[in-house]
């Protein structure tokens, strides 16, 4: 992808989108289709179930990482 540092993998971006949609109560089939996966088992590999405390730590780390890399990591 143009303009995205090599340190960012598409899998990370896709996992973020899948998990954000899951938090907004998207259905399993919706997640699978949005990720363009043939089988839901593949989509499940991207689901990163965490409690809210762990999610807050991740958000704080993303803020630090985005400043260090020089671009903003955003959530929809």
Average of per-residue pLDDT across 37-64: 79
pLDDT interval class at 32 (50, 70, 90): very high
- Which one is predicted more confidently, 39 or 52? 39
Q: How far is CA 19 from CA 3, 10, 68, 69, 72, in A?
A: 24, 14, 24, 23, 18
In the chain, domain spans:
10-69
pLDDT tens-digit profile of 38-51?
Answer: 999 999 998 876 66
């Amino acid at each position: 992808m143009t303009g995205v540092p090599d340190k960012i993998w598409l899998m990370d971006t896709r996992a973020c989108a899948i998990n954000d949609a899951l938090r907004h109560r998207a259905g399993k089939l919706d997640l699978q289709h949005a990720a363009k996966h043939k089988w839901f088992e593949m989509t499940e590999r991207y689901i990163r179930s965490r409690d809210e405390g762990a999610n807050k730590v991740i958000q704080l780390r993303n803020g630090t990482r985005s400043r260090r890399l020089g671009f903003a990591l955003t959530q929809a």
